[in-house]
Amino acid sequence: MRLFTHAVCNAARAAWRESFPLGGRDPARWFPGHMAKGLKKMQSSLKLVDCIIEVHDARIPLSGRNPLFQETLGLKPHLLVLNKMDLADLREQKKILQHLEGEGLKNVIFTNCVKDENIRQIIPTVTELIESSYRYHRGENLEYCIMVIGIPNVGKSSLINSIRRLHLRKGKASRVGGQPGVTRAVMSRIQVCERPLVFLLDTPGVLAPRIESVEMGLKLALCGTVLDHLVGEETMADYLLYTLNRHQLFGYVQHYGLDSACDDVESVLKRVALKLGKTQKVKVLTGTGNVNIMQPNYAAAAGHFLRAFRSGLLGPVMLDRDVLACCVDR
């Protein structure tokens, strides 16, 4: 603890990067197309749907949501679920809600599917939204059908399983994975509740047709919405380090037992690799021939750094603090 306190004191006095070098990076090459096929299938299923639950990552509550959802599916009652709240720094939750309300999103719930936190709020909220909608003309049909949408890897399937676990005491009905692209098709209806009778439709993650900026692309990548190798683990690790230091979040120093915080990603990854024993043999041509030397495995260290962040081992993080600050300034 003394080491960590000393490192934080030194870090607080350090001058961190005020910006991240974004030149030459093209987020259009990182992300697949906007997956129009999946969106069309969702639209074709809309006539069966009473309400839309949009799931997004609570670490990026203001960035990366697909604007096409509102355009193409926006005629139905809409609930925004900000999942993975256990991984997000929510000290400015009120500002987040105010900003979302300004965008017309009045129904927002923060959830943690690992511990089923706030999951019980979803069915009552959805029921109220449907019954108060002027489009609610269902006659004697008392069942509800809800479509669950979102960008890749935000926890849509986990949310369905969590609701089902709480209300039906049943196991998994939807596949869950730590990588984007696990759900590839609009599935058949999954019952999640008996009273009221509620069915959910799981859907594949659908990204926006165009990522607004490189920085937004990096935030989305950090949250696992695209395969890491498409962006580059070391690039993502550098952006993560930049973000943590700029916001004075030095949990990585304690987690890896480092001597101090540092803003140079190569130096940090070298220390992480050596701490974890992640080294690799490299052939070096010398005057006397080829010599095998051991070097830090920077790619392996970057991957470990990213996984530690995504698991919450580096502490809760709000990647949209810059967006929130801009909102306050306006």
The span from the CA of 257 to the CA of 134, in Å, is 58
On whether 156 is known to bind a ligand per the annotation, the reply is yes
Strands, DSSP E only, in 180-288?
190-193, 198-201, 279-286
On whether 155 is known to bind a ligand per the annotation, the reply is yes
Compute CA distances 1 → 7, 218, 252, 253, whole Å: 10, 32, 13, 11
On whether 153 is known to bind a ligand per the annotation, the reply is yes
On whether 205 is known to bind a ligand per the annotation, the reply is yes
In order, the DSSP letters of 106-156 are: --EEE-BTTTTBTGGGHHHHHHHHHHTSTT---TT---EEEEEEESTTSSH
On whether 275 is known to bind a ligand per the annotation, the reply is no
On whether 154 is known to bind a ligand per the annotation, the reply is yes
On whether 86 is known to bind a ligand per the annotation, the reply is yes
Q: What share of the chain is helix, strand, coil (3-state, %, to 5)?
A: 45, 15, 40
Annotated binding site for GTP: 83-86, 153-158, 205
Annotated binding site: 83-86, 153-158, 205
